[in-house]
Amino acid sequence: MLEIDLPYILVDGRRFRGDVRRIEDLRPVLMDNLSEEGDAYYMFRDVRPVHETLRYDITVMPARILGREFIKTMGHYHDGPYPEIYGILRGEAIFILQKRAGRDEVLDDLVLIRAKEGEIVRIPPYYGHVTVNPSKSMLVLENIICRKCRSDYEPYIRMRGSAIYVTVDGIVRNNRYLYVPKLREEKPDKGEIFSLDLKDLLKLCPYQ
């Protein structure tokens, strides 16, 4: 049971206040230079028990346009070989996944996944990722990841975001990257995170 009354959510009868990512925080990764201020999206950590090695989070992203871009997350890589699983609880999302070829500005792979309510997106180890809300409705995401995993935002800040921007005019290339392979689209999985077997979820923690 999930109820949303930002900056709070109610999960299974328990009330949580979110950590706020503000527009000012996103400026280093946005395509356009903005003076706009305000809340961008909300992150709620550890809101439901899964397993002692795993953390379950919820992210709420209201619809918004930032310059020419649809609102998005900051983007990060993981600090080790940790995968992650996302589920779409409400709305629709675009996930941009990218894998480095030894340098931030050179990529081995670039993937776009469009997902809607009731679908799952898996982030493989060593892939950075950004989530975009391209719709006029609120996006609500759930995700599960190993507690040991830490997020590295610096490569996205150095490169001013991912290799592509999702804008009101379509996909725009980020020219700060020296080499980017052809963008390929993948489909999400069907189902819900909690329908997955615990053994499958525990694969998120390679060093448990």
pLDDT at 1: 81
pLDDT at 74: 97
Per this entry, what is the length of the chain? Answer: 208
pLDDT at 208: 59
Compute the distance between CA of residue 156 and CA of residue 191 in angstroms, rounded to an integer: 30
Give every residue of the chain whose pLDDT is below 70, as ranges. 207-208
Q: Give this prediction's pTM.
A: 0.95
Compute the distance between CA of residue 25 and CA of residue 21 in angstroms, rounded to an integer: 6
pLDDT in tens, 129-176: 999 999 999 999 999 999 999 999 999 999 999 999 999 999 999 999
Environment class of residue 95 by beta-carbon count within 10 Å: exposed (0-12), middle (13-18) or buried (19+)?
A: buried
